[in-house]
């Protein structure tokens, strides 16, 4: 007699950055040049832009008050080549970056 095993529904992991950190999902690396030439994976550069998925509450100043971040969820940002820490969340690569390591916000 075989018994059916019930699998638990897969839940999506939520990450809330601490202090003045932001969670960034990097943009996909280009696999084709503008002229149509396909690039091998070894030739593609690590992207330095991404979309902010979540933001922390902000750092505390000397008076114990929160300093709000100047970026918000949904912003597309540029960060330094060696900035932040790579983390894997539900099989998807993300970066946790301090706000001070962000170089700019891309405005369209």
3-class SS letters over 49-95: EEEEEEECCCEECCCCCEECCCCCCCCEEEECCCCCEEEEECCEEEE
| Of the ranges 1-10, 12-21, 94-103, the best mean pLDDT one | 94-103
Spatial CA neighbour of 48 closest among 95, 100, 108: 95
The whole-model pTM stands at 0.74
Res. 52: pLDDT tops 90 = yes
Fold of the domain built from segment(s) 21-106? 10 Kd Chaperonin, Protein Cpn10; Chain O (2.30.33)
User: What span, in angstroms and rounded, lies between the C-alpha atoms of 76 and 63?
Assistant: 31
Contact 98, 21 (CB under 8 A): yes
- What pLDDT score was predicted for residue 48? 87
Give the length of the chain: 108
* Interval 79-98 mean pLDDT: 91
- Residue 13 — very low, low, confident or very high, per pLDDT cuts 50/70/90? confident
Instruction: With cut-offs at 50, 70 and 90, classify the pLDDT of residue 33.
Output: low
List, edge to edge, every strand of the sheet that includes 76-79. Answer: 85-89, 92-98, 21-26, 49-55, 76-79, 102-106
């Amino acid at each position: 007699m075989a018994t059916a095993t019930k699998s638990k529904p897969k839940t999506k992991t939520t990450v809330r950055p601490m202090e003045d950190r932001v969670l960034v999902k990097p943009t996909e690396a280009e696999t084709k040049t503008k002229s149509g030439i396909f690039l091998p994976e070894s030739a593609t550069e690590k992207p330095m832009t991404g979309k902010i998925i979540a933001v922390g509450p902000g750092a505390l100043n000397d008076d114990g008050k929160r300093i709000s971040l100047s970026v918000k969820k949904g912003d597309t940002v540029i960060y330094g080549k060696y900035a932040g820490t790579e983390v894997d969340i539900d099989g998807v690569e993300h970066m946790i970056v301090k706000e001070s390591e962000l170089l700019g916000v891309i405005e369209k």
